[in-house]
Amino acid sequence: MTIFEKVEIDKTMNGIRHFSVRHAKSLSVGACLLVIAASFGARAAETNVSADKPTSMRISSSQYRRTIADIFGSSIVITARFEAETRENGLLAIGALNNSVSEDGFERYYEIAKDVAAQVTDKRHRAVLIPCKPKSATAGDEVCARKFLATTGRLLFRRPLKNDEIQALVAVSKDTANKKKDFYAGISTSLIDLLISPDFLFRYRNIEPDPARPGHFRLDSYSKAAILSSFLWNSNPDDLLLKAAENGSLQTDKGLAMQVDRMISSPEIESGVRAFFSDMLGLDQFDVLSKDAKFFPRFTPDAKRDAPEQTLRTIVDHVVDRQGDYRDLFTTRHTFMTRALAALYGVPLVETTDNARPMRWLAYTYPEGDPRAGILSQASFVALYSGAGRTSPTIRGKNFRLNILCQVVPPPPPNVDFSLIQDITNPKFKTVRDRLTAHRSNPTCAGCHRLMDPVGLAFENFDSSGGFRTTENGVPIDTSGEWNGVKFSGPVELTKALHDDPAVTACVARKVFAFASGAMPSGNSAQWKEIQTKFADSHFNFLQLMRAIAVSDLLYSVPETRVSLLEHK
């Protein structure tokens, strides 16, 4: 068995996209393949794509923002809210497959496009972002407009623009420029056009005949590039990736691997990792989270803002910087905090910056034996999956299963008669474990609740805001339970019991694939087994999982039935 080399992240890049060819480190594949028998939980395998199912994916709000920042720089500010994304099977990325654009959503995109275009063409930015100068600033200039729109359009549409597309854009630009006697107004209008186009707002899986297999089809290079960049960098393809698409090297194993390795060893990989875990852990739900300030005064707006970031930093540190075992995320004592979070958790954090400076992120390590370890003891899990006043072990348990183990607990049946099991003679239950006795004792309820409640009860030391407690209403909290026959007490022991459960690693692999493609993988193919093996062989190095998926044919599969509907361009 070969140990995969750790991927070197080039920290000198400082996040600036590099437009020259870089030497990519090559990785060797293990000589012997271990077949890992993995359990996939209750989910049935789903086919990747079929003719009647959509294959296009709507750009996510974070991808939109990153793309604008990558193309136009981070001084372009987007303040408007995007249309809400919907979560399916636990991932927004799967929802993106089914999402179109509602009327309200389109209006939002439109407002954002106007805002961005206005900034790009304003006096401060135009000299830098529109490199050519018009012959006259008060009239149209086809040559300069064409140059800017072709360059920008390629980066926005993830492919070169066709001649008639450029023509139409230039015409719109000229028309407006002449009407308003302002060249830059013209550019602004055509830039709006680009930004509201379906070619920007959606990524497509376009197919072309496969020269290696006559009669069969494959995804075209640009579609592959779009998948790669949104997966690994959470953004649109950069110039180098588009060039690799244009010259055909993306269609070769070697060329694909070279781009994948380049992208994984870039600091931009952090964006991809963040985007994935943010989706998997449901961190977008912080937007609609609210806690009662009277009960939880330490859950300040700063703490709420910082909580998801804490988890993402912990994860990036572990899987990107240290390239540790994925499973150790649930037991690691290393994390990062700001003073606001430290107060919420009741731990000391010595911050030496000057008075009134923004709070810095500082590394913090919990002492040995501390009951708070792993990302699940952080507010991003325990506070996110709690109500505004009370905790709900059922909700925590349900999301634990869904997010970490890919296990869906079905909703309660209709017409459950609570009067049968509700003990109305003793309505005052001291701890939530008491209150949920009914869930456990009634056979109708217990079937599903025993999947959720015991797990959730392990976290009851964390109140609804993520703060630590040992008693509830004066009674000590009991956090003991059992996992697959292993007894545990508290979340750290629970996550240790989970460490060797193959469901944990199998689930994250499936979710990463679904994040990249919009659908869960079919679990039985040889290619999927190969991905799983690579992941295991690398000691569950998350970047290696991303690599394995990015170079796999499985990610670029084409539905055979689509062929008959295809018309050549």
Partner 1 sequence: MPNKFHNLLSVSIWMALPLCLNPIAAQAESRGYVIGWLATASYYTGDVKMGCPDGRNGGVVEMHARELEAIGFGKKEAVELQRKQRDTDAIVPEYRDKVYNRARINGKEGSVFTYPDFTSDPNVELYSGKYAYGFDLTGTAGPSKFEDPETHARVDNQLWRALGCINQYRTFPPQKPMLEDTSWDVFVDNAPAWTVQINGDDLSKDGKVTVTIGRATQHLLRDATSSTLRDATYIVDPASKTRNVLEGEIKDGVLTIKPAHIYLEGELPFYMDIELDNGHMRVNRQPDGKLIAYMGGFTDWKRYAYMSTARPFQDAAAIEGYHALKKVADSDPDPVTGQNRKISATFRWEAVPAYLADSKGNILASPDDLVQPQKVANNAAQ
Partner 2 sequence: MGKLTDLIGRRRVLKGLLAGGTVSVGLPILDCMLDGNGEAFADTGAPIPVRFATWFWGLGFGEGVWVPKGSGTSYQLPDQMRALEPIRHKLNLFSGSEVFADGNPVATHVTGGQVTMTGRVENKIKYAGSLDCLVSDVIGNGRRFRSLQVTCSGNPVDSWSARKDGTKQLAETSPLALYTRIFGPDFRDPNAAEFTPDPNVMIEKSALTAVTERRNDLMRQLGAGDRAKLDAYFTSVRALETKLQVQLQKPAPMLACVRPGKPPEDDGGVVTLVSDAMARHDLFANLFASALACGQTNVVNLTITEGMSGLRFEGETASHHSLSHEEPIDPALGYQKKCFEYQKVYMKGLLEFASAMDGIKEGDKTMLDRMLIFAYTDHGAPRLHSLHNYPTITVGSAGGRLKTGMHVPHAGQPITRVSLTAMQAMGVPIASFGTGSNQANSAIAEVVV
Does position 321 interact with partner 1 (CB under 8 A)? The reply is: no
**Which of partner 1, partner 2, none binds 300 (CB below 5-8 Å, type-dependent)?**
partner 1
Q: Which of residues 205-264 bind partner 1 (CB under 8 A)?
A: none
Our CB check for partner 1 shows the closer of 335 and 407 to be 335
Q: Amino acid identity, residue 126?
A: R
Our CB check for partner 1 shows the closer of 222 and 296 to be 296
How many angstroms separate the CA atoms of 529 and 536, rounded? Answer: 11
The stretch among 178-186, 287-295, 428-436, 516-524 that binds partner 1 (CB under 8 A) is 287-295
**Which of partner 2, partner 1, none binds 178 (CB below 5-8 Å, type-dependent)?**
none
Does position 347 interact with partner 1 (CB under 8 A)? The reply is: yes
Residue with tokens 């086809």: 142
Specify whether the CB–CB gap between 421 and 446 falls below 8 A: no
The tokens of 148 are what? Answer: 């800017």
Q: Amino acid identity, residue 545?
A: L
The tokens of 460 are what? Answer: 């009851």
C-beta of 380: minimal distance to partner 1 in Å? 18
With CA atoms as reference, report the closest residue to 266 among 293, 241, 300.
241
How many angstroms separate the CA atoms of 442 and 460, rounded? Answer: 22
Residue with tokens 């064409």: 146
How many angstroms separate the CA atoms of 383 and 494, rounded? Answer: 18
The stretch among 71-79, 126-134, 319-327, 350-358 that binds partner 1 (CB under 8 A) is 350-358
Our CB check for partner 2 shows the closer of 194 and 494 to be 194
The distance from CA 261 to its chain's CA centroid, rounded to whole angstroms, is 20
Q: What length does the chain have?
A: 569
With CA atoms as reference, report the closest residue to 456 among 510, 509, 388, 404.
404
Helices 163-180 and 183-196 cross at an angle (nearest 10°) of 140
The distance from CA 498 to its chain's CA centroid, rounded to whole angstroms, is 23
C-beta of 349: minimal distance to partner 1 in Å? 5
Does position 569 interact with partner 1 (CB under 8 A)? The reply is: no
C-beta of 303: minimal distance to partner 1 in Å? 8
Q: Which of 348, 414, 427, 443 binds partner 1 (CB under 8 A)?
A: 348
**Which of partner 1, partner 2, none binds 390 (CB below 5-8 Å, type-dependent)?**
partner 2
Q: How many CB atoms lie within 10 A of CB 203?
A: 25
Q: Which of 342, 492, 509, 558 binds partner 1 (CB under 8 A)?
A: 342
Secondary structure (3-state) at 531: helix
Does position 299 interact with partner 1 (CB under 8 A)? The reply is: yes
Using a CB cutoff of 8 Å and minimum separation of 24, what contacts does 29-34 make?
Answer: 29/2, 29/534, 30/1, 30/2, 30/4, 30/533, 30/534, 30/537, 31/1, 31/2, 32/1, 33/530, 33/533, 34/1, 34/533, 34/536, 34/537
**Which of partner 1, partner 2, none binds 342 (CB below 5-8 Å, type-dependent)?**
partner 1
Does position 354 interact with partner 1 (CB under 8 A)? The reply is: yes
C-beta of 389: minimal distance to partner 2 in Å? 3
C-beta of 299: minimal distance to partner 1 in Å? 6
**Which of partner 2, partner 1, none binds 468 (CB below 5-8 Å, type-dependent)?**
partner 1
C-beta of 203: minimal distance to partner 2 in Å? 11
C-beta of 206: minimal distance to partner 2 in Å? 6
C-beta of 180: minimal distance to partner 1 in Å? 46
**Which of partner 1, partner 2, none binds 102 (CB below 5-8 Å, type-dependent)?**
partner 2
C-beta of 463: minimal distance to partner 1 in Å? 10
How many angstroms separate the CA atoms of 532 and 326, rounded? Answer: 13
Our CB check for partner 2 shows the closer of 169 and 545 to be 169
Each residue 355-374 as x (binds partner 1 by CB under 8 A) or -, in order, gives xx---x-xxx--x--xxx--
Residue 113, H or E segment: helix 103-120
Our CB check for partner 1 shows the closer of 325 and 463 to be 463
**Which of partner 2, partner 1, none binds 372 (CB below 5-8 Å, type-dependent)?**
partner 1
Beta bridge partners of residue 488, listed in sequence order = 481
**Which of partner 1, partner 2, none binds 297 (CB below 5-8 Å, type-dependent)?**
partner 1
Q: Which of residues 369-408 bind partner 1 (CB under 8 A)?
A: 370-372
How many angstroms separate the CA atoms of 141 and 183, rounded? Answer: 7
57-58 and 362-365 strand pairing: unpaired
What DSSP line would sit under 429-464, residue for residue?
-SSHHHHTHHHHHSHHHHHHHHHHHHHHHTTTTB-T
Q: Which of residues 466-505 bind partner 1 (CB under 8 A)?
A: 468-471
C-beta of 559: minimal distance to partner 2 in Å? 8
Q: How many CB atoms lie within 10 A of CB 430?
A: 12
The tokens of 70 are what? Answer: 């990558």
Our CB check for partner 2 shows the closer of 194 and 242 to be 194
Would the CA dihedral through 563, 259, 227, 280 be positive or negative?
Answer: positive
The stretch among 25-33, 336-344, 485-493, 497-505 that binds partner 1 (CB under 8 A) is 336-344
C-beta of 413: minimal distance to partner 2 in Å? 7
Binding site for partner 1 (CB under 8 A): 291, 293-294, 296-301, 339-340, 342-343, 346-352, 354-356, 360, 362-364, 367, 370-372, 468-471
